[in-house]
Structure 1
Amino acid sequence: MFKMLKVVLSSLVSVMLLATPVVATPASGPHVKFQKPLITDVNVLFDRAEKGVTDLKDQNIVSRASIVSKETGKKLDAKIYSTTQLNKVTEEANGEVVNTYATTTFAVATPNDTLGTSTTQSYDGSNYNSKWDGSISVRAYSTVYWTYSSYGGLTFCNMAGQSLTGGWAVSDSTVSVSNRYFTVGQSGPGYTWFQDNESGNQYPSSLTYSYYVPSTWTPVQYVNGGLSSVGMHSYATLVRGGSSWNLTFDNYVCH
C-alpha cells in the first residue's frame, strides 16, 4: 500500500514539474551598453588633445600648469592640452547609469624666458604621431580614470579601484627633471557627508608613474563651483645649466 502511494506521489510531482513554467531570473550584475578600447599611446593622445578631439565637452575638467623661475620668481603659464575618452557605459540593476572615462592632460613647458602662447607642436602626417618642436623641453602629463554616474537626481564622480598614470617626457638632453612628486585626491559631498580622500605625496623613482586608487574611496557628488574635486597634482623641478624652474601641474575632473 505504502509502495503504491509512493509511486503515485512521485508521478504527480513529475507531472507538476513538467507543467510548471520556467521563469528566467534577471541578471543582477551591470549591463554593458557600450564599450571600446582606450588609446594609451602618449603621442597619439597628445595629438588628440592638441587638436581638441574629445568625447566629453560639458564636464568641468580643470587643468592648470605654471612654471616659475627659482632665481627670479617670474611665473609663466605652460600650454595646456586635454582629451577625454569614453571607455564604457553600464547600467546597474537599480537603474543607475555609469559612464567610465579616461581624461589625459598635458602641460607643455620650456624653461626659459620666451615661454608663452607661441609654444607650438609640429606633426609628421605620414605616421600621425606628434613630434617635438625645437622650443619645447618638457611635457608633464597624466591620465585620470574615473566614473560619472547619475541616480535619484544626483550625479557622482569616482576614481576608486582604478589606476592613475602619468609622467614627464623630456625632449631636451640639457634639461633634467628632479624633486618629482604627485598627489591624488577625491573630495566633496558624499552620499551622506563630506568625503576627503588623499594619497599623500608620492615620489616616483623614474619619469613615469602609476598609482592604484584604493577601492575604499567613496564617490563624491559633482557640484558646480569647485565644491568637489577629483584628480591629481604633480610637481617637479626643471634644471638647465645653472638655472632651475618649478613646474606644477593639475589634472582635475568634476571640479
Structure 2
Amino acid sequence: MTEGLTFSDPRLAELDGFRVTLDAANERADIVLDRPPYNVISMEARDQLRLVFEALDEDDRVRIIVLSGAGEHFSSGGNIKGFLEATPEHVSKLAWNVAAPARCTKPVIAANRGFTFGVGFELSLACDFRIVSETCRYALPEQKLGQIPGSGGSARLQKIVGVTRTKDIVMRSKRIAGQQALDWGIATECVPDADLEQVVSDLVTELRGFSPMAQRTAKKLLNDTEDALLTTAIELEGLNYSRLRQSDDFREGVEAFHEKRKPQFTGR
C-alpha cells in the first residue's frame, strides 16, 4: 500500500508485507513493515524495499526516510522457509538489497521496538540513526538455524562494537536489549516505548533544518571513509569541505549566523 506516492516500477504495484506513506508537508516518507504480528520480511519484500529506497532517493518531495514496524515488533526476521526455496542467484542479492538504506543519499531513521531480529536488525544497521524503545531486542539468531548472518549483519556490527562483542552476539545468538544497545553504541537513542514516535518525529524536524547538500555530503563521506586510513579520511574530508564552501547553502548559513536568523537552505 502507498499513500501519496506512485511508483513507476511495475514490481512495486503490490507491496509484499509493508506500506509506504508520504507526508509532503514535512518532507517525510515512511516505510512501515506490516505483516502482523511479527512483520516477517519475505524474499520478495527485500527486492521491493531496495526499489522503494531507490525511488524515494530520487523523489524531491522527500528529505527524510523513516523505517518502522507496525505493532509491538519491528520484525522477527526473514521468512525461514524462503531461504530453502530461493535460488542461489536470488540469495546472492540479499546483502545488496538490505544495504539500500546505507546507499540512499538521504538520512534514514530506523524506529525499533520489540523483536528486531535477523534481517530486521540488518536493515536497521544499514540506517543512519537507530532510535529504540526500551522494549527493543536486537538479535542475529542465525546460529540456531546452522547459519550465519548473510546480509551484512555481522560485518556492520563488528564495525560498531568490535570483534569481541560481535562474537558474543553472533556466535551465541544473543539478544541485546535497547538500553544495552545504546550503551554499546548500536542505538542512537533509547526511549520509553510510548515516546518512540514523538522522538522520531522530533529527529525528522531537526534534520530538516540542516542543508540537504551538507547532509548528503556528510553521509557519503562517513560511509566512504569507514575503512579508510586516517590520512585518506582527512584528505577526503578536506576536499568535501572545500567543495561545500562554494555552495549557496554555505553562504546562506554564514549570512544567517551573522544576521542572527534561521538559515533557509535550498540544497544548492
Q: TM-score, normalised by structure 2?
A: 0.26
Whose strand proportion is higher, 1 or 2? Answer: 1
Higher relative contact order at CA 8 Å, sep ≥6: structure 1 or structure 2?
1
Q: TM-score, normalised by structure 1?
A: 0.27
Whose helix proportion is higher, 1 or 2? Answer: 2
Larger radius of gyration: 1
